Each structure stands twice: as structure tokens, then as C-alpha cells.
């Protein structure tokens, strides 16, 4: 079949690489793609969040499956437009994408279905937020919601910090919730209506600095699997969180289709939901794709066409994968743009290594940086320690004067293993 992939980051480079190797993939088009994706796909420069443009491209190219990488096209209703045009799409409707877009929606769904999550209150004004604080002990977690979102999450350890967070959000909607203690892990499941299949676990590193310090980023590195999410805990997360969510969404007339990314806190009482995303994580996707065996494109097509329950469960290798992000100096602030990148081929010559492109451009003189996260250097190994050794050996081959990376990806798990 002919497949169209939407997006232009490291996540999409990893998806393109895996899809291209699937026996059922005859041709792969990416929109808009990037220089890394151009190794596996024909890139077409359209806006992936423009439903009419995506439908037109899919029709013109005889596309049997559209795979949506990022959330923006989903929120813009691209999956709805494709379904209305009779084209199979891997990715949820705009209504189901509320699981990511609205924290309040997801919290209310959890409460109504007894899904384990932090206790919370939704507020609409500063006054209401101040009044609600009384019911929480410190630390307390404050999140902007709805249109005012994107200001991040504040974990306030003092009443003053909580007040500052309320001031910063202004009069908009907020979710105030109890602080959960534990280690975080992500669980990625394929969901087709009420059918849910666990795909893989991973752990991300959101802070820019080593030892998980400094400002938050989109993610500086990841590894998969996350052994902290044991088979028993994964089963509980599927039974207590993911499946009840899929059932509730179907019952509400918004059946979910695609990949559901559950951000979990592993507490003393078991896994609790922190948040959902309705797409693959970036860089988690780069660490998961190399572990997938079998015909991945066919699996995505099964989800997209409502046949997940009829096909074999996903096959994952027993290997461990680690992705280390190489970012441009200045990220997550204003990143240095245009820095030359050389010797990526030498990095890829290291056994088990693939270098995915997150933010690169092809200049006349060669590859240059474009954007914050530039490369996602990914290595497979028999153990996490071997994957780490290979990933850093590969990074050390790369000549990118304007770049930086964290040297400690995987530290929590590796420390546990060494203890
Ligand atoms: P979110 O945008 O909801 O994913 O939150 C971003 C990060 O804030 C999460 O990855 C957690 O590290 C942290 N966080 C969010 N909610 C809580 C909570 N209730 N308890 C502890 N940490 C939280
Ligand atoms: N790596 C976190 C995310 O994709 O949201």
C-alpha cells in the first residue's frame, strides 16, 4: 500500500524508517518531512495541519493509510477529514484528541470511571483557585487548562509559589491537583475503539540538564523498555487506566483510534495517570521503533481500519534501546540555528546505531541545524548499558560545534542495575 506520514521531527523520522522497512509498504510519502525522512520517503511541502490539503494529497497519491505523527493535525481535525473522505488514518478524531488537549476533560473522565489519578479541583478564576487551595497539602500541582494552557505545570512547595502560579495563569481555567510521589514511566498502547494492546514502555528525560536539572524541554533522551514498569504494573495500568479510558471514550461517542500515550506515576498504591497524549512521544518513539519487529505498517493499518482485534499482537525484540538528543546551543530558549553538522555517517557506522533527524536542513555546504532538538542518536543493545555505550560512542563521532547533549540518559535505571 501507499502510505502518507504527517510531520517533520525525530519522531516522524523514526516512524518513516520503520514503516519503510515494512513488507506491506509499497511507497511512502511524508508531509512535510525533513532531510532525515527524505532518506526513506518522498517529501511533499504541504501544511500537515490543513485538512483539505492533506485529503487532496492523499487522493492524488492513491494513499491507503495516513499516519499522523504530531498532535497539531489531530487537534485541527485532519483525521476526521480523512475518515470522512473514506481514507484510513492512524490517529484519533479531534473529539478524542481532547484526552491530550484538555486536562480538565481527562480528569473528569478519570473521576467518572474510577481511573486512578491525583485528586483534583477544576477552577475558572483566580478567586476560585485560591479558595480551592485550602483542600490540598503542599506540595500542590497547578496546571493551566484550555486555551490558556502551554504555560506549563507548577509544582508549588510553598503557599507563596502557589499564589505566584495562580497570578501567572490569570483568570483562565486551571486544574489544581495533589502531588503524586513515585517514579514516572510512559506506556504506549494501540487503541481501536474498545480494543487495547500494550505496545511498549519508555522513560523520558524532560529537563535540559544532567541529573534532571534546569528548565523543561520536549525531551533530551529516552530509553525503552522501562523496567520500572514491570509486567505486573503494566497489566494493572492496562486494566485500571487504559482499558477503562477506551471504554469510556467509546461510550461517549468519541471512540479512540491510534496510539494512546499514558504518562504514569508509579506510586505505592500502584500506577496513577498523570496525563495522556494522543500520539507517540518524541523522543520515546525513536527508542521504541528499533525494537518493533514484524510488519509495522500493517499493524498501523489494522488500527486505522478497526481490525486491531483480528491481527497478531505487536512483536517487540528483547533488546534495549536508548535515544540521546543532540540539541542546538541555547535550547530550550532560543537555539543557535545554522550550525554545521558533519560525520553523521561515522556515528551510524557504530553497531546498532541509527541517527534520526529532528531539526536539520540541507544547505549547499551540507547538513545544518534548524531548530532546538537537532539529532536523535539511537542505539540498540542486548542490555541498556550496551545501548548507552553505543549511543555515546556514536555521538562522539559527530562534529557539531553548536550542539550539546546530556551524558546521563538512563541514569536512574542504570544506577538501579549497578546497585
Ligand atoms: P503534565 O503536563 O501534566 O504531563 O505534567 C508535566 C510534569 O509535571 C509531569 O511529567 C510530572 O513530572 C509533573 N507532574 C504533573 N502532575 C503531577 C502530580 N500530580 N504529581 C507529581 N508530579 C506531577
Ligand atoms: N517526550 C514527551 C512528549 O512527547 O510529550
Average pLDDT over residues 268-287: 98
> Domain of 397: which CATH number?
3.90.600.10
Among the candidates 178, 207, 225, a domain finishes at: 178
Residue 313 lies in a domain: no
Mean pLDDT is lowest, of 87-101, 135-149, 285-299, 345-359, for 135-149
**How many structural domains is the chain composed of?**
4
Residue 108 lies in a domain: no
Whether the pLDDT of residue 300 is over 90: the answer is: yes
Residue 336 CA to ligand 1 centre (angstroms): 29
Whether the pLDDT of residue 266 is over 70: the answer is: yes
Q: Is the CB of 219 under 6 A from ligand 2?
A: yes
Q: 282 with 191, same domain?
A: yes
Whether the pLDDT of residue 293 is over 60: the answer is: yes
Q: 194 with 295, same domain?
A: yes
Residue 143 lies in a domain: yes
Give the confidence band of 118 by pLDDT, cuts at 50, 70, 90: very high
Q: pLDDT tens digits, residue range 15-74?
A: 999 999 999 999 999 999 999 999 999 999 999 999 999 999 999 999 999 999 999 999
> Domain of 131: which CATH number?
3.30.1490.20
Q: 364 with 276, same domain?
A: no
| Residues of the domain holding 149 | 119-178
Whether the pLDDT of residue 307 is over 80: the answer is: yes
Q: 25 with 59, same domain?
A: yes
Ligand 2 atom closest to the Cα of residue 11 is: 4
Percent of the chain with pLDDT over 70: 99
Q: What's the mean pLDDT when you consider all of the chain?
A: 96
Q: 80 with 136, same domain?
A: no
pLDDT attached to residue 169: 84
Give the confidence band of 147 by pLDDT, cuts at 50, 70, 90: low
Q: 166 with 212, same domain?
A: no
φ and ψ at residue 102, rounded to 5 degrees: -130, 110
Residue 109 lies in a domain: no
pLDDT attached to residue 150: 53
SS3 content of the chain, % helix, strand, coil (to 5): 35, 30, 35
Q: pLDDT tens digits, residue range 152-164?
A: 789 999 999 999 9
> Domain of 43: which CATH number?
3.40.50.20
Q: Is the CB of 100 under 6 A from ligand 2?
A: no
- For ligand 2, atom 4, name the residue with the nearest CA: 281
Ligand 1 atom closest to the Cα of residue 118 is: 19
Can you say how many angstroms the Cα of residue 189 is from the centroid of all Cα atoms in its chain? 12
Q: 151 with 189, same domain?
A: no
Q: 366 with 400, same domain?
A: yes
- For ligand 2, atom 3, name the residue with the nearest CA: 281
Q: pLDDT tens digits, residue range 373-414?
A: 999 999 999 999 999 999 999 999 999 999 999 999 999 999
Beta strands in 126-256 (DSSP E): 140-144, 153-156, 174-178, 183-192, 195-204, 207-209, 213-216, 221-224
Residue 104 lies in a domain: no
291: left (phi over 0), alpha (psi -120 to 50) or beta: alpha
Q: Which residues line ligand 1 (CB under 6 A)?
A: 118, 141, 143, 153, 155, 177, 179-180, 184, 263, 274-275
Average pLDDT over residues 290-294: 97
Q: pLDDT tens digits, residue range 317-348?
A: 999 999 999 999 999 999 999 999 999 999 99
Ligand 2 atom closest to the Cα of residue 204 is: 1
Residue 13 lies in a domain: yes
Strand 320-328 vs strand 373-381: parallel, antiparallel, or unpaired? antiparallel
> Domain of 194: which CATH number?
3.30.470.20
Average pLDDT over residues 97-112: 96
Q: 196 with 283, same domain?
A: yes
For residue 264, give the ligand nearest its CA. 1
Q: 324 with 352, same domain?
A: yes
Average pLDDT over residues 3-16: 98
Give the confidence band of 419 by pLDDT, cuts at 50, 70, 90: confident
Q: 172 with 273, same domain?
A: no
Residue 106 lies in a domain: no
Residue 103 lies in a domain: no
pLDDT attached to residue 219: 96
Residue 274 CA to ligand 1 centre (angstroms): 6
pLDDT attached to residue 418: 84
Q: 325 with 390, same domain?
A: yes
∠ at Cα 349 (347, 355), nearest 5°?
A: 45
Amino acid at each position: 500500500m501507499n502510505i502518507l506520514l504527517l510531520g517533520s521531527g525525530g519522531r516522524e523520522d523514526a516512524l518513516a524508517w520503520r514503516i519503510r522497512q515494512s513488507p506491506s509498504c509499497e511507497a511512502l510519502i511524508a508531509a512535510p518531512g525533513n532531510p532525515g525522512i527524505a532518506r526513506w520517503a518522498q517529501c511533499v511541502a504541504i501544511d500537515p495541519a490543513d485538512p483539505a490539503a492533506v485529503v487532496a494529497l492523499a487522493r492524488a497519491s492513491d494513499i491507503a493509510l495516513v499516519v499522523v505523527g504530531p498532535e497539531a493535525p489531530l487537534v485541527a481535525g485532519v483525521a476526521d477529514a480523512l475518515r470522512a473522505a473514506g481514507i484510513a488514518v492512524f490517529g484519533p478524531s479531534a473529539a478524542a484528541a481532547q484526552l491530550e488537549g484538555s486536562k480538565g476533560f481527562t480528569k473528569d473522565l478519570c473521576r467518572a470511571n474510577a481511573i486512578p489519578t491525583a485528586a483534583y479541583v477544576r477552577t475558572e478564576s483566580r478567586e476560585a483557585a485560591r479558595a480551592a487551595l485550602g483542600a490540598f497539602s503542599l506540595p500542590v500541582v497547578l496546571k493551566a487548562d484550555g486555551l490558556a494552557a502551554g504555560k506549563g505545570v507548577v509544582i508549588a512547595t510553598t503557599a507563596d509559589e502557589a499564589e505566584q502560579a495562580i497570578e501567572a495563569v490569570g483568570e483562565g481555567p486551571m486544574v489544581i491537583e495533589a502531588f503524586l510521589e513515585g517514579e514516572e514511566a510512559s506506556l504506549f498502547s494501540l487503541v481501536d475503539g474498545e480494543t487495547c494492546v500494550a505496545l511498549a514502555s519508555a522513560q523520558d528525560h524532560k529537563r535540559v540538564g544532567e541529573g534532571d536539572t534546569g528548565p523543561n524541554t520536549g525531551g533530551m533522551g529516552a530509553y525503552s523498555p522501562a523496567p520500572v514498569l514491570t509486567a505486573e504494573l503494566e497489566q494493572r495500568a492496562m486494566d485500571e487506566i487504559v482499558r477503562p479510558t477506551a471504554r469510556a471514550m467509546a461510550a461517549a461517542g468519541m471512540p479512540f483510534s491510534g496510539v494512546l500515550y499514558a504518562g504514569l506515576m508509579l506510586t505505592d498504591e500502584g500506577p496513577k495517570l498523570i496525563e495522556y497524549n494522543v500520539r507517540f512521544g518524541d523522543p520515546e518513539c525513536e527508542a521504541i521503533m528499533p525494537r518493533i519487529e514484524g510488519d509495522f505498517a500493517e499493524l498501523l493499518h489494522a488500527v486505522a481500519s478497526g481490525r486491531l482485534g483480528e491481527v497478531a499482537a505487536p512483536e517487540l525484540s528483547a533488546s534495549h534501546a536508548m535515544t540521546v538528543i543532540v540539541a542546538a546551543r541555547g535550547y530550550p530558549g532560543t537555539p543557535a540555528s545554522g550550525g554545521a553538522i558533519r560525520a553523521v555517517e561515522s556515528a551510524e557506522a557504530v553497531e546498532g546505531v541509527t541517527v534520526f533527524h529532528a531539526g536539520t536542513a540541507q544547505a549547499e555546504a551540507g547538513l545544518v541545524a534548524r531548530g532546538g532538538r537537532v539529532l536523535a542518536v539511537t542505539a540498540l543493545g542486548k542490555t541498556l548499558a550496551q545501548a548507552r555505550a553505543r549511543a555515546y560512542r556514536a555521538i562522539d563521532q559527530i562534529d557539531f560545534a553548536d550542539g550539546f547533549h546530556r551524558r546521563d540518559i538512563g541514569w536512574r535505571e542504570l544506577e538501579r542495575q549497578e546497585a
